[in-house]
Amino acid sequence: MILTLIRHGLTEGNINGLYYGSTDIPLTSEGVRQLETLRDEGGYPKAKRYYTSGMLRTEQTFKILYGDVPHEALTDLREIDLGDFEMRSYEQLKDDPAFIEWITGDNEANVCPNGESGNIVTERALAAIKRIAEAGEDAVVITHSGVIGGVLSRLVGAGTRYDYKAEPGCGFMLEFENGSFRRIIKTVPDVQARSDAE
């Protein structure tokens, strides 16, 4: 089966360089326009099953890319809860001892004050991905950059979440066989391949 992981569109948190994950903010008007352009250029796969993390920005992204297609929200695919660091910039946090400890330590293992760690997010996301893969039907998931990076670094068994960064509205197409990950097939949307074929 083919599983496609797509990051939601652009938000104010992205534009302003904020640490955020659990705050349920919407797409910006620019983010909406970018997604509409990507959609109109083509390259997004169709599937038998569709999922989002249930957060507003993933629901909005899904609606723009796929319209009124039925889908399921899986909350285990939501972004990290950054606790006390939510909706704050590096400039606002750089002198906070708790932030310094988190950012200079192992932030995969270190839990944000009143939040989660990277490992917690990846474990819950992998559990959701496993259920999707075991269904054996092609699926598209609209989720978050940290989720995509954490899941891919574990599935591939190499690199960190930062080595699998997806830009807003973009992602990766993966192949599974009998519920087990095989390989990354390509990135999406596949606009370049479509252009080459014309």
What superfamily in CATH does domain 2-18+27-81+117-197 come from?
Phosphoglycerate mutase-like (3.40.50.1240)
HEC string of 25-55 equals CCECHHHHHHHHHHHHHCCCCCCCEEEECCC
Report the C-alpha gap between 142 and 2 in whole angstroms.
Answer: 14
**Both structure tokens of 118:** 């990277």
Domain ranges of the chain: 2-18+27-81+117-197
Question: How many C-beta neighbours within 10 Å does residue 128 have?
Answer: 20
Q: What's the mean pLDDT when you consider all of the chain?
A: 93
- Helices (H) then strands (E): counts for the chain: 8, 8
What pLDDT is stored for residue 197 in this prediction? 32
65-89 confidence digits (pLDDT tens): 999 999 999 999 999 999 999 999 9
Whether the pLDDT of residue 166 is over 50: the answer is: yes
34-53 confidence digits (pLDDT tens): 999 999 998 899 999 999 99
